[in-house]
Amino acid sequence: MEVITVNDNMQRNYSYQLLRREGVDFHSNFSPELSPKEMLELGVFGGKYLTDCRAEFPAYWFENAKLSPNAKDISLNYFSVDASQSLAEWKRKGWIHPQDPRGWFQWYCRYHLGRRTEVEDARQIQRWFAFRRHRGAVIKGCEAYDYSCRKKQRQALLHWAYDSRRI
């Protein structure tokens, strides 16, 4: 089993084991439509995500990633809108677990890579599944493939690995 040790701006000497092969053996209730690589290529989080911790993840994830190392750049988002709450807001709401101080997407990247942590995985998968309600809102409120309709919700869905380009 491979061990990943993290030393970046938000974590020092944090280690985890890869218990599964990358991109396989997901929980039966978890079926994301986009991989972390695909999300980064589409444009998520204003490009300001994983910019200081690329060494932790496979280099090929970043080959065509839309990144902005210095500041969030909303024009890099697929739908060119800001659909994110701040990390401070996520902390205030109790959504951040110490093992993943950057939040859901960091958890998903590590899960996709092969890390498994039973309790936190269950919590994050439940959060991911609950976010699906936004997909229903887009379907109900928009004509199919009308990307000008509910752009903020569509962008937020991309942030949660739902491919809102399909609806």
Each domain of the chain, given as residue ranges in start order, spans 3-166
> Above 90 in pLDDT, residue 49?
no
The model's pLDDT over 115-143, given as tens digits with 9 standing for 90+, comes to 999 999 999 999 999 999 999 999 999 99
- pLDDT in the model for residue 152: 97
Angle at CA 69, nearest 5°, toward 64 and 71?
Answer: 125
Q: Calculate mean pLDDT across residues 43-53.
A: 92
Proportion of the chain above pLDDT 90, given as a percent: 89
Q: Quote the pLDDT of residue 138.
A: 97
- Report the pLDDT value the prediction gives residue 87, as an integer from 0 to 100: 82
Tens of pLDDT, residues 17-30? 999 999 999 999 99
Report pTM.
0.95
β-pair type (12-17, 3-7): antiparallel
Question: For residue 11, is pLDDT > 90?
Answer: yes
**Tokens for 18?**
């890869």
User: What is the model's pLDDT at position 119?
Assistant: 96
pLDDT band at 38 (very low <50, low <70, confident <90, very high): very high
Per 3-state DSSP, the chain is made up of helix, strand and coil in percentages (nearest 5) of 45, 10, 50
